[in-house]
Amino acid sequence: QVQLQESGPGLVTPSETLSLTCAVSGESISSRNWWTWVRQSPGEGLQWIGEIIQTGTTTYNPSLKSRVTISVDEARNQFSLTLRSVTAADTAVYYCTRVKAGCSTASCYFDPWGQGRLVTVSS
């Protein structure tokens, strides 16, 4: 059974860089899955941030693309999120999740999810 676990600082200073890692267990990150980040601001809805496959190919939400980098570490079986120049608007719970075998003509969905990591942007 695949399990995902986010980790990283819970507090980031405005204008600095947010960095989170998602450890994957129960499956190789080198599989043909797309590894994904989603966030949820307090009391708000869900926003897709971006995704990566083990080849290093990425896709990002156009609204965040200029500030986001997602990378994969096959040796540690984990993937990471970097969000630069953060503001209070980036305060959110950040989730990592998976698109199994990528989106096909038959289906496309995120599952499973990590428990989430609350990141607060504040001085």
Q: Is 101 in the site for another protein (CB under 8 A)?
A: no
Site for another protein in 66-85 (CB under 8 A): none
- Comparing CA positions, the residue from 61, 57, 35, 34 lying closest to residue 47 is 61
Rounded to a whole number of angstroms, the minimum distance from the CB of residue 14 to another protein is 26
- Comparing CA positions, the residue from 36, 9, 31 lying closest to residue 20 is 9
Task: Pick one of 2, 11, 46, 88: the residue that binds another protein (CB under 8 A).
Answer: 46
Task: Write the burial class of residue 72 (CB in 10 Å: 0-12 exposed, 13-18 middle, 19+ buried).
Answer: buried
**Closest to another protein by CB, 82 or 115:** 115
Q: Is 116 in the site for another protein (CB under 8 A)?
A: yes
Rounded to a whole number of angstroms, the minimum distance from the CB of residue 56 to another protein is 15
Q: Which residues bind another protein (CB under 8 A)?
A: 36, 45-48, 59, 61-62, 95, 103-116
